[in-house]
Amino acid sequence: MMNKDLPRWATAFVMPVLNLLSALLVTALVIHLLGESPTESLAILVNSAVVNPEGLSYTLFYASTFIFTGLAVSIAMQAGLFNIGAEGQMYFAGLGLTLAMLTFDASLPAWLLIPVGMLGAALFGALWAFVPGYLQAKRGSHVVVTTIMFNYIAAALMNTIIVKLVPPGEQNPASRAFAAAAEMPRLNQWFPILGETPLNISFFLAIIALVIYGVVVSRSAWGFKLRATGLNKHAAHYAGVRISKMIIIVMLISGALAGLGSVNSIMGSTHYLSLNFVGGAGFIGIAIALMGRQNPVGIFLSAVLFGALTQGGFDLSLEKQNIPPETVIMVQGLIILFCGAMENLYGPAIAKVLNLKKRG
C-alpha cells in the first residue's frame, strides 16, 4: 500500500499529527539541551496562548493573518503552483491599503473606508503576484524562482517608498497614522473579557474566506478545473482547461488573499504602514498550507497553532532566560521540515499497520 493509497483519515489527520508531534519532540530535546524543562516550557506556552483569555485573543489575532497567507499558498498549491511569494505580496499590498487610507480617510465614513482599504490591499497583492503568474504561464519561468525574487524586490521597493511617506519631523520609518474611521472594529467592544487586544473583525473575515475557499475548491466546476490542473496539466488541457489562463487567475487570487492579510496587521493593529510589518507571516503561510493539507479545517487549525506559538513564544522567552525568542522560528522551521519535506515519513509505517489489520 503506497501513501497515495492510504485512507483519507490517515493522510488528512494521522500523518499531520504525527509530523507535528515529531517536530515538538525535537523541540523538547533542544529545550532540554538548553537547560530548561520541556514540560514547564509547554505549560507556560499553553497558559499564555490558550488558557489566558487575553493571550487567546492575541493567538486568534495572529491566526487571522496566518489564515489569509495560508489560503494564498493553498489555492496556488491546488493548481500545482508553489507560491512562496506571499511575504512580498502581503508587503506590497500594505502599500495599496495605505495609499487608499491616506487618500480617503479624511473624507469617507468607516463603513465605506474599510472596504476601500481591503480592495486596495487585494488589488496590490494580486498585482504583485501577476508577473510571476504571467511568466510561469507564458514563458515557463518557474514560479518558485520568480516569487523568491519578487519577495526581495518588494522589500527593497517598500524600504524606499515608506521613507518617502514619513511625515516631516518624524524619525520613525512609517507613514502617518490613519484616521479613526480606518480602524477595524475590535472584538473587545462586545467581549470585554478579551482585554485591550487588537483582535478585530478580520478574524470573522478570515473564517468567511475559509468557507468560500472550501466551497469553491471542492463544490464548484471551476474548483474541479483547478484541482485537475494541479493533478495533471496535460489531462486538464485535453479536457478543455486553458492552463495558462488558469495559472494567471490562480496567482491573482493567491496574491489577493495574501494582500488581505495586511488588513489585519495594519488596519486592525498599528493603523499605519511601517517597515517589515509582515514579520514573516507570508512564510508561515507556507507551513500552514503544508500542515493543513490545503483543507479549510486544516488551515484554520494550523493557523491557530502558529498563532499560539507566536503568542506563547513571547512569554516563554521572558520567563525562561535560556530560551531565546528565536526558538519559535526554530519550531516553525521544524514543522515545515516534518510537514513539508518529510510529510510522508510515517506513510510506510501506517500502510504496514493497515495491511497487518487486513490480513488479521
48 located within any domain: yes
pLDDT of residue 359 exceeding 80, the answer is no
Mean pLDDT of 18-32: 90
Residue 356 has pLDDT above 70, yes or no: no
Task: Check residue 326 and give its pLDDT.
Answer: 82
φ/ψ (deg, to 5) at 186: -90, 145
Q: Is residue 355 part of a domain?
A: no
Residue 356 lies in a domain: no
Residue 191 sits at the vertex; the CA angle it makes with 264 and 98, to the nearest 5 degrees, is 20
- State how far the Cα of 289 lies from the Cα of 213, in Å rounded to an integer: 13
What is the mean pLDDT of the segment spanning 247-269? 97
Non-local (6+) Cβ contacts of 34 within 8 A are 322, 323
pLDDT range class, residue 71, cuts 50, 70, 90: very high
Bridge partner list, 186 = 200
Is the predicted pLDDT of residue 357 greater than 80, yes or no?
no
Q: Is the pLDDT of residue 8 over 90?
A: no
- Whether the CB-CB separation of 323 and 42 falls below 8 Å is answered with no
Q: What are phi and psi of 10, to 5 degrees?
A: -75, -45
Query: Does 4 or 178 have the greater pLDDT score?
Result: 178
Total structural domains within the chain: 1
Q: 214: which residues sit within 8 A by CB, 6+ positions away?
A: 295, 296
Inter-residue contact 61 to 268 (CB < 8 Å) = yes
How is residue 200 annotated by DSSP? B
Residue type, 115: P
Estimate the crossing angle of helix 38-46 against helix 296-319, to 10 degrees.
110
CATH number at residue 67: 1.10.3470
Domain-embedded: residue 232:
yes
Residue 153: give the domain boundaries. 20-342
Distance CA 289, CA 301 (A): 11
Sign of dihedral through CA atoms 311, 314, 315, 316?
positive
Mean pLDDT of the chain: 92
Does 351 map to a domain? no
Give 118's contacts (C-beta < 8 A, 6+ positions apart): 97, 260, 263
- Residue 171 main-chain phi, psi, to 5 deg: -100, -25
In a domain, 150, yes or no: yes
The length of the chain is 360
Condensed to tens digits (0 to 9), the pLDDT of residues 205-257 reads 999 999 999 999 999 999 999 999 999 999 999 989 999 999 999 999 999 99
Instruction: Summarize pLDDT for 147-179 with one digit per residue, the tens.
Output: 999 999 999 999 999 999 999 888 889 999 999
Position 271 confidence tier, pLDDT thresholds 50, 70, 90: very high
How far is the C-alpha of 243 from the C-alpha of 325, rounded, in Å? 44
pLDDT at 2: 46
- How far apart CA 38 and CA 25 sit, in angstroms, is 9
Query: Three-state SS across 241-267?
Result: CCHHHHHHHHHHHHHHHHHHHHHHHHH
Is 151 part of a structural domain of the chain? Answer: yes
d(CA 214, CA 142): 27
pLDDT at position 328, please? 81
CB 151 within 8 A of CB 86: no
Q: Does 350 fall in a domain? A: no
